[in-house]
Structure 1
Amino acid sequence: MPDSVGELGEFGLIGAVTARLPQGPDVLLGPGDDSAVVAAPDGRVVVTTDLLVENRHFRRDWSDAVDIGHKAAAQNLSDIEAMGARPTSLVVGLGVPADLPVSWALGLASGLGDEAALVGASVVGGDVVRSPLVVVSVTALGSLDGGPAVTRSGARPGDVVAVCGRLGWAEAGYQVLSRGFRTPRAVVEAHRRPAVPYGAGVEAASLGATAMCDVSDGLLGDLGHVAVASGVVIDVSASAVTVAPQLKEVASALGADPLSWVLTGGDDNALVACFPAEVSLPERWTVIGVVSSGEPGVTVDGASYGSAGGHDHFAGS
């Protein structure tokens, strides 16, 4: 096989990539035609898309191709989970330089396929173009399987707020990598590859979640979207939020505040949801706050918390 994607060619690359992507039971027609065909038994399809640009969302000297594939898939699968839906399939657009090693592109495909397989989803098609930088665009599809979508707009005064998944780990990893270090490995790996709490979205919907959101831009920022959409106040209890010992150790070494990583750090792809207060939640869900009436917004222990607006791609340089 040629060493670079330019030597292999567009159709050769597509063939090599799709050969690594098995198709699941929701796929009626997979890669190879003008479009894929995916089953939608209840007549509705949940759709989300995300774009990763080299040196903005990932660096090839920080993460290998397999990790980037996992991350690209996980970010979209998590958004499907946040609607209370079951992920079924992914479509991938890939822009790459002509001198990119074929092995790198195949590693990316393996990461995408392996992450999708964690939830029984399939990569069903996409497109490849020449680009000066690596750009990965993923569109994910999901099924509600007859249930209602859980949106951001359903939170009501009296609800409790609970989170499932880890928070602050990816930000800790980013801070470590930004300073030129590669350890502690646990936080570095958390930055490279999210640990999405798969199945928690459907679980939350079955428990009567009134609102839900994927935590990709920071807990307080994403809760802010829920607060505004629902027209409520959400107050987070700092003492209820888990700050893992590993984060405290890294923050101490770097002279940082680990609580700020947990409250405002992004890319962990946890789920946060609002539930009626009487609901008994499984152990993996941790209650961290309450919903009340008032001017929409988010507070921590009843007060504002610095800049909690969430990540903005157009802020700064």
Structure 2
Amino acid sequence: MIIIRPIQDSDYDALHRIAVESGHGFTSLPVNEELLRKRIAHAEVSFNSSVTEPGNEGYLFVMEDTETGIVVGTCGIEAAVGLEDAFYHYHLGKVVHSSRELNIYNTVETLSLCNDYTGASEICTLFLSETHRKNRNGRFLSRCRFLFMAEHSERFGETVIAEMRGVSDENGSSPFWQWLEDNFFSLDFPTVDYLTGIGKKEFIAELMPKYPIYVNLLSPEAQQVINKVHDKTVPALRLLEAEGFARRGYVDIFDAGPTVEAQASKVKTVCESQKCQVLIGEVESDNNFMVCNTKVADFRAVQTPVLLRETANQVVLPQAVADALMVNEGDWVRLIAN
């Protein structure tokens, strides 16, 4: 059975393997033992904390194949970004240069450094090993976060964002960063990506251009990748767009990948999921639901056929599924069709 649960200290080796697999551009999982262990410890504290409003909590989940005991994927949620370290983006804007006397009117796109998403919740760190990219596991891994947010809404902000990986080549080189490197920095993209991942962000404020950048002054290669996603990120973007996420003109300051946003209460999985009371019995159905319990530290989620009795607000689960979810008959679960 495939389950999703909070990460724990014993998952370090698996998380390190995933960090290596994820490659360049996956800033939130640097290949660094100290930082990965801190990330796990912070998640454990967050899951075990009593929370009434979003703060510095970071929730990291893993997908486990219980038949083998192997962790095959991970995903995360940051409760509120930018509260301790500045959270930077570029915002795409326009400047008009015109002269009525000369009959000239030019519109120029600009990139302006900003901290507009400070305090927003961020879904992040989504990665699934290639061996398990089947049976809707990727979709499940992404959407389970919204079930958790729906059940524990007090822990998250009303605005939810996701930074999508921008364009880079197999060596980790970003055309957008190349222009910044040539003009403002002396660090290559993999190095900058790594420094950001381990929390060393002071160089951003020190070296990043403070004034709006005219897009038409960038190299043609840099201009072409602004607001574009990496080929491997397209499926993740499509999933989020189906949930109601949209671009609002914000892009990453390193690779110019788009940041998408939605109002938490309007995310499809959040507003369409329902709570039902558990009955345990035989289920003969080929439908497929995502089901999670209502716990925090002992959160569990699975994909499974169920027998839904909507008028009675009840759901029939097989005993093995109830055991995996750590629920008994009479307990409540949250679910949505997958």
Settle same-fold status: TM greater than 0.5: no
Choose between structure 1 and 2 for higher RCO, CA contacts under 8 A separated by at least 6 residues: 1
The structure with more radius of gyration? 2
| TM-score, with length taken from structure 1 | 0.26
Greater percentage in strand: 2
| TM-score, with length taken from structure 2 | 0.25
